[in-house]
């Protein structure tokens, strides 16, 4: 393995440890917060009802836990995993009052859960970033029950700094939100952006069926999901 590729993963780990506070603030408001709320709405979740067993969610690469916390506040049972101790400290502090929310330290490619432990497994802005892409997707499928849903939010191939700036101008975003968009686009250009054909192949290879892919944010972001096949 080339030295440059070998060093990418440790570098990313250090980046999130040192920048945990900035990252938590960046995702709390603005376009990335808005698109995550839209993502959750796109799942068309049944409302949590008292007296019935709550749906079980796994947030892979949960970061500061903003999405996980919102789901827990809606009455679902949510578990978040991240490999950054600094981000998990923030997530636990922000979610300290949520009864149905817990967090674990874990790499995305080796999740510490039994097979079929969750009804929904999702990742927001994670798949494009991880070094162990295929292993992460396989693990997300493994821990999701048969007929359960694996869902994600990640950059489309069209996400670029120039397109992010144009979208920001068109939608009259503030300077702060424009910077957030440009930062996200820069990260996507340095990591991965997905064409539909590639994305479908990756999800199918991981074992998912009945794929649904939808472009959002001016076409620059994928909302995707697939179903874990039912057992024989």
Is residue 164, in this structure, part of any structural domain at all?
yes
Is residue 91, in this structure, part of any structural domain at all?
yes
Model pLDDT, residue 34 = 97
| Residues sharing a CB contact under 8 Å with residue 207, sequence separation 6 or more, in sequence order | 138, 141, 228, 229
Is residue 147, in this structure, part of any structural domain at all?
yes
Count of residues in the chain = 232
Question: Count of domains in the chain?
Answer: 1
Model pLDDT, residue 5 = 56
Is residue 171, in this structure, part of any structural domain at all?
yes
Instruction: Copy the structure tokens of residue 69.
Output: 């916390």
Cβ neighbourhood burial of 67 (10 Å; 0-12, 13-18, 19+): buried
pTM for the model: 0.94
Angle at 13 between CA 12 and CA 18, to 5 degrees: 95
Query: How confident is the model over 208-229, as pLDDT tens digits?
Result: 999 999 999 999 999 999 999 9
Model pLDDT, residue 12 = 79
Is residue 38, in this structure, part of any structural domain at all?
yes
Q: Which domain holds residue 9?
A: 3-44+51-227
Model pLDDT, residue 18 = 80
φ, ψ for residue 25 (rounded to 5)? -70, -40
Is residue 185, in this structure, part of any structural domain at all?
yes
Is residue 232, in this structure, part of any structural domain at all?
no
The residues of the chain scoring below 50 in pLDDT are: 1-4, 6
CATH assignment of the domain containing 109: 3.40.50.150
């Amino acid at each position: 393995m080339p030295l440059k590729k070998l060093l990418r993963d440790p570098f990313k780990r250090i980046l999130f440890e040192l920048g945990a506070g900035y990252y938590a603030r960046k995702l709390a408001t603005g376009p990335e917060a808005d698109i995550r709320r839209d993502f959750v709405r796109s799942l068309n979740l049944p409302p949590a009802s008292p007296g019935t067993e709550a749906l079980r969610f796994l947030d892979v690469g949960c970061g500061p836990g903003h999405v996980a916390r919102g789901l827990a506040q809606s009455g679902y049972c949510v578990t978040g995993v991240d490999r950054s101790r600094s981000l998990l400290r923030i997530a636990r502090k922000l979610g300290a009052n949520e009864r149905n929310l817990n967090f674990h330290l874990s790499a995305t490619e080796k999740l510490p859960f039994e097979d079929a432990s969750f009804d929904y497994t999702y990742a927001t802005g994670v798949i494009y970033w991880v070094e162990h892409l295929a292993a992460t997707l396989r693990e997300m499928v493994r821990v999701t029950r048969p007929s359960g849903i694996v869902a994600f939010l990640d950059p489309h191939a069209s996400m670029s700094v120039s397109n992010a700036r144009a979208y920001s101008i068109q939608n009259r975003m503030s300077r702060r939100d424009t910077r957030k968009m440009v930062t996200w686009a820069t990260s996507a250009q340095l990591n991965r952006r997905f064409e539909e054909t590639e994305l479908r192949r990756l999800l199918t290879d991981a074992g998912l069926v009945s794929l649904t892919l939808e472009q959002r944010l001016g076409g620059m972001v994928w909302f995707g999901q697939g179903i874990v096949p039912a057992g024989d």
